[in-house]
Every structure is written in C-alpha cells, then in structure tokens.
Amino acid sequence: MHIINSNGVKYTTKGVIGLNYVERYNNWLNNPYFDEDTKSELLSISGNKKEIEDRFYRDLEFGTGGLRGIIGAGTNRINRYVIRKTSQGLANFLTKNNKTVSIVIAYDSRHKSREFAQESACVFAQNNIKTYLFDELRPTPELSYAVRYLNCDAGIVITASHNPKEYNGYKVYGKDGGQLPLDLSNALLEEVNSIEDITSISTMDFDMALSKGLIKIIGAEIDHAYISYLKTLSVTKLDSAFLDSCRLIYTPIHGAGNKPVRAILKEVGFNNVYIVPEQEKPDSNFSTVKYPNPEDRAVFELAIQMAKEKDVELIIGTDPDCDRVGVVVRDKKGEYVTLTGNETGCLLLEYILSNLRAQDKLPENAFVVKTIVTTELAKKIADEYNVKMLDVLTGFKFIGEQILIRDEQGDEKFIFGFEESYGYLAGTDVRDKDAVVASMLIAEMFAWYKSKGLTLYDALISIYEKYGYALDFQDFFTLKGKEGVEQIQNAMVFLREKKPANMGDTKIEVIRDYETGIQTHIKTGVEEPLDLPKSNVIYYETQEGFWVCIRPSGTEPKIKIYYGVSGNSSENAHKSLEKLRDDVLSEIKPLLE
C-alpha cells in the first residue's frame, strides 16, 4: 500500500516512489516537515551532485552494532528524522504483541547525543511507551544493566562507540539486556522499513511527556546498583595497604567512563588513580585525539607522558561510550607498550580461570566465548582449565546471545567473553562488552601479579612461553561513498565465487563461507554445513594451521582482513605473519583499487 503525504508525494518501504536521489533531496528541501537548520544545511550542498547522491541514494542501514552514520541531513545520514523513523519502527515492533511497554535510553558525549536521546523519548511517549531517560551521559554497559534492573522491554543507547567525531549511532537492546539477535533485528528492520512516510511520524512535547509521567529521568539509583553489582565480580582480594602502592593512570578519552570507572576502582581499593586532565571532561570534538579509539596508541600519548613523569606501570583508557578498553604497560626495557585486544583478553582469561580454580570456584559446567576472528590462543587457555570455549560470529551481540541460551535458559555457567576489538565481559547482569568491569579486573590483575613480583608484561610473556607464541593482526581499507560500498560488495562476491586454492604462496586448506553457510575442503571439494548464523564473512584456514578472515564492517565503510599465526618464538611468529600478510594482500589489494 502506498501513502500520499500532504505534498502529494508517494512513499514506499525504500523511500519515495519514482524519485531519484536529486528528487529526494528536493523533497527534503521543500517539505515543511523538515526544520530550517536541515534545509539550510541542504542548501549549502546545492549543486554538489556527488554529495547529494551520497546523502540520499539509500536509507542508513543497520549493521552488527545497530544504526551508525555521519551526522547530517539526508536519508543516508543520522539526524533527528532518521532517529524518529527508527524509534517509531521500534515502537511499532514493541507494541505489536504487547500494549504495556517500557524502554530505557542512555547516551554518550558525542555531538547531538542528548538531542537524539530526547527525540527518541518523545517518539516513544507519543506511542504511550513509558520511557526512562538517563540524566546525563552513561556507559553503554550501564544501559544494558538498566534494561534488566528496571525490567524494561528494550533499551537504546545513542553512541557511535569509537568512531570519529562526525559520527553518531543508535544501538538497540532487547529485554534480556543484550543487543537484538538476528531474527529480532531483522523483524525490527522490517518495521522501520514499513514506515512509508517519514513525515507522518509525530512526537510528544518533551515537557508534556515529563508531566504525564511517560518520560522519567533516572540516574543515581541505577549508578549505585550497577557499581555494587560489578564489585561482586572481583576475583582476588589484596591488603588495602598493598593496593595503595599500586598506582595507575586512567583516561576516559573525553567520554562516559570517567565517573563509573573511577567509582569502581575506588570501591575495590585503588586510591592512587591518576586521571589524564586534558581528557577527563566530556568533549564532543575529542579535541586531544584524531579519533577516540583505544586500539590506537596515539590516544595514549598524554597518558604515557604522565606515566613517565609519575613512574607508573599501567595505563587504562576507555572509548566514548565506555564499552571498549585499551591497556598500556611498561616492559623490561622501561618502554611503554600497548597491548592488543587479544593480549589483554588472554591475560584476563588466564588470570580469572587460574584464580577461580585455585579458589575451588570454577564450575564444572563453565564456558567462555570468543568471536571467530579472536585469537586461538584463548582456546588453549580454556583447554588448560577444562573450560568449554565457544566461537561465535563477529559482534558482541553473539556473545550476549550465548549467555541467554546457555546460562539463563540452560545449565551452563558463563565465566568470560571477549573479542579482539578490545571488548570484554565478566558476569551476566550486563549483556554487552563492559569497559567498566574490565577496567576493574585489569587493575586487580595488575595488583595481583605485582604482589608476586611480576608485571603485566611478565605475565604476558609467561603465557606465550606456556602456550606458544600467537600473533594476530588486522588490516582494513576504507572506501567511502556509494562507489566504495559497491567496491567492497564486489570484492566479497569475487572471493566467494573464486574459492582460491592459494593466496600468493600460501595454500588454502579450508574455506568457511558464513554467508552461504558452507565449509569447503579445497583438496577434496567436500562441503559441510556451518553451525553459525549467516553473515557476510569468509574465513580461510591455511595448510600451516594459520587463518585469515575477510569481512565488511557492519558499521563503517571498511573491509577488514584478520590474520592469525603461531610459532615457537616471537621472531618465528612475526616472520610467519609478515609472509601471510604479503600473500593475502597481493590478492586483495587489486580488488580494492
């Protein structure tokens, strides 16, 4: 069924019927529904055909982490109207089978985060949905916790995680506090796409919604409950006097972690925590960094300088919505080195499992979870403690899903989950990566090893000596605009159809194509079904026992290439990685040029 709005324009699930991107641009420019600031921005690009096309050739799409895009006017940007449409779709989705619905909303320090959060709340209020809105910025994991604590039907957080300052996003959480699984996110997407006329969406005045009790402002009560819960996840206890000697530096990188991370560290006994002053306060421009990603050593430059001045061994940094955490440690030469996400994850896994076993607290039905692009070293650690290791698709939503299936609904006990992209989780009252609990565990682990005369760098080397030297790496290529999206899609199609028996001199033994759901043995041609959901991911196992994984990003205009090698020494592993990368890139780069 088509809808004709007040201007006589027809709409479908894909946008305006019969209108190309220029006509859609003109519709936004002339329709009285859109505000003057939006029209002024659109006027500023008048005549710029490429920019108009990029803003209007499609609707902004959901990825593995929800909706994410550049802030700006247009259907392929994130703005108050795209936020309204997504919120109305979510409202329709929630009220389809349930008339009494509640939702909780959080937001981070990004441009327009508070505005978009309020815009969402006003759409929900108009749909008679009780909405809890945090009084100021909060970490994404606290939103996940709040969904369960308040017994809400859903939650959203306005954030673009570690993306550059030009971005913002919209992440949706289900009743269990986890990101929506594929079947539900697809159902939600259908509801969003079924809104044929964006100008038909109405909102309730914010103050009116407050007076009617449809919007309730929350804050301190949830903070207290969340921090109290995280404290129960502490693994080891040390004397308070000794903890006073364990000094560390923390930076929230201008984001939402400042208050909760400092609170939990203080609660577990760390009283000597230095904060990087230039990065302490929320700052939508992230003015001290190029982009606020703790995977990038550059964000720690100020912290490293402070660590040298204060003779501190450990630095912890969290991203704007405080779901990812990066770590810098001092090595034997006195140099400050950044740990990879895999290294931090393996350190935490070894620390948690070894101490739980020593305390006779490790359940027989314990399990841990990692993603398919996360180091295989974690599997060796889990095997050492007779703990089941589960592999899931990339995206922490799949780790949270395993907690729901195996812990909440089954008879297994979740212990720990992590991914190579600096996301970690312990406990089950939060169902997404949690940099607050991870910061607590990292500080605690640092103190525990220090009590034994060891640094975290010493502990990492001991893991490699015990289990073998594993080395992982990631390349990515950013291809912006419509042409970039098509180029990435074409590259994946080519690789999927070619099924290469080798890349350069590296021979491929097995190809796992998660989009077709088929695993192919190259020598024999034998095909077997894969037991994970379908996703646009291709995974290669080499004859040397190494692996390569290629996938488009679900939230950014990037194609990512992951590598994993192992060896009997650091030097051997680095040589293997260098050769593997050279061979793979010789095949991939021509597809992206």
* Catalytic site positions: 161
DSSP state of 339: P
Residue found under tokens 């009285």: 32
The backbone region for 246, taken as left when phi is positive above 0, alpha when psi lies in -120 to 50, beta otherwise, is: beta
Distances (CA, A) of 451 to 92, 268, 346, 447, 538: 55, 16, 20, 6, 44
Structure tokens at 308: 């040298």
| Angle ∠(131,161,70) on CA atoms, nearest 5 | 90
Task: State the pairing for strand pair 518-521/130-134.
Answer: unpaired
Other CB atoms within a 10 A radius of the CB of residue 135 amount to 10
Tokens of 130: 């009780």
d(CA 519, CA 584): 20
Sequence-separated (6 or more) residues with CB below 8 Å from residue 427: 229, 230, 232, 233, 437
Listed in sequence order, the DSSP H helices in 163-269 are 182-193, 206-211, 220-231, 240-243, 258-267
Tokens of 59: 């609707």
End-to-end CA distance of the chain: 42
Q: 72 φ, ψ to 5°?
A: 165, 175
Q: Output the CA–CA distances (angstroms, integers) from residue 142 to 114, 148, 155, 300, 327, in the order listed.
A: 16, 10, 11, 25, 21
Q: Per-residue DSSP letters for 105-124?
A: EEE-SSTTHHHHHHHHHHHH
Report the distance separating Cα 246 and Cα 269, nearest Å. 10
Tokens of 549: 């994984």
For the record, the structure tokens of 312 come out as 């501190």
Nearest residue to 249 (alpha-carbon basis) of 314, 296, 327: 314
Q: Give all strands of the β-sheet with 336-338 in edge-to-edge order.
A: 273-275, 248-251, 314-318, 325-330, 336-338
Rg, Å, the chain Cα set: 24
The counts of H helices and E strands in the chain are 19, 27
Q: SS3 for 195? A: coil
Q: For residue 242, give Cα distances in angstroms to 201, 236, 237, 270, 489.
A: 59, 13, 11, 10, 55
Neighbouring C-beta atoms of residue 48, cutoff 10 Å:
11
